[in-house]
């Protein structure tokens, strides 16, 4: 009887954990280099609704994976750079230089979220054309936007 009960509990727990797992493929650093992604969703909300303004190329939050797995992009209002790494299916960025322009309103919140996710580390997945970063407090979804198709 105890065995049946333990097997049942384990099956229930396995079912619960599979629904919270992040879907998609864990990319390698080599698979990401030379790719560019635009931020589209922050914590389940479209970026366009959060900031309530038009975000043009060169001004919208994005991330680019460069040679040597250097990361560069725009967090919200400010540009950033840093050395990236993937460890145990999580993306990390060692803090590097960034611009220091004033950032107001919702875009400021987006910027703080992006920096927190990159600096703390986040589970990373590729699903279709999406780059998904799942942090303990936030979820960012980027869409592939390579400069050359």
Higher local confidence (pLDDT), 148 or 122: 122
User: Is 5 a member of any domain?
Assistant: no
User: Is 71 a member of any domain?
Assistant: yes
Number of domains in the chain: 1
| pLDDT for the residue 16 | 41
Question: Which residues, at least 6 apart from 99, have a Cβ–Cβ distance to it below 8 Å?
Answer: 78, 79, 80
Which pair of tokens denotes residue 61?
């939050």
| pLDDT for the residue 87 | 96
Mean pLDDT value across the chain: 87
Residues 77-131 pLDDT 10s: 999 999 999 999 999 999 899 999 998 889 999 999 999 999 999 999 999 999 9
User: Is 11 a member of any domain?
Assistant: no
User: Is 64 a member of any domain?
Assistant: yes
User: Is 61 a member of any domain?
Assistant: yes
User: Is 76 a member of any domain?
Assistant: yes
- C-alpha span between 41 and 45 (Å, rounded): 5
User: Is 128 a member of any domain?
Assistant: yes
| pLDDT for the residue 21 | 65
| 85 contacts 65 by C-beta, under 8 angstroms | no
Percent of residues, the chain, with pLDDT higher than 90: 70
User: Is 85 a member of any domain?
Assistant: yes
Q: How many residues does the chain have?
A: 149
Three-state secondary structure readout of the chain = CHHHHHHHHHHHHHHHHHHHCCCCECCCHHHHCCEEEEEEEECCEEHHHHHCCCCCCCCCCEEEEEHHHEEEEECCCCEEEEEEEEECCEEEEEEEEECCCCCCHHHHHHHHHHHHHHHHCEEEEEECCEEEEECCCCEEEEEECCCCC
The CATH number of the domain holding residue 52 is 2.40.128.270
The residue range of the domain holding 56 is 24-144
Residues 27-36 pLDDT 10s: 999 999 999 9
Q: Is the pLDDT of residue 2 over 70?
A: no
């Amino acid at each position: 009887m105890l065995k049946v009960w333990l097997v049942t509990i384990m099956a229930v727990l396995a079912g619960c954990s599979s629904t919270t797992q992040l879907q998609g493929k864990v990319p390698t650093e080599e698979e990401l280099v030379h790719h560019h992604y635009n931020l589209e969703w922050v914590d389940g909300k479209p970026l366009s609704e959060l900031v309530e303004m038009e975000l043009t190329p060169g001004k919208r939050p994005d991330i680019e994976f460069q040679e040597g797995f250097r990361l560069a992009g725009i967090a919200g209002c400010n540009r950033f750079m840093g050395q990236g790494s993937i460890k145990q299916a999580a993306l990390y960025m060692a803090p590097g230089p960034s611009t220091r322009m004033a950032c107001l309103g919702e875009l400021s919140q987006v910027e703080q979220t992006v920096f927190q996710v990159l600096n703390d580390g986040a589970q990373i997945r590729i699903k279709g054309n999406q780059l998904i970063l799942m942090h303990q407090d936030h979820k960012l979804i980027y869409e592939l936007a390579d400069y050359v198709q």
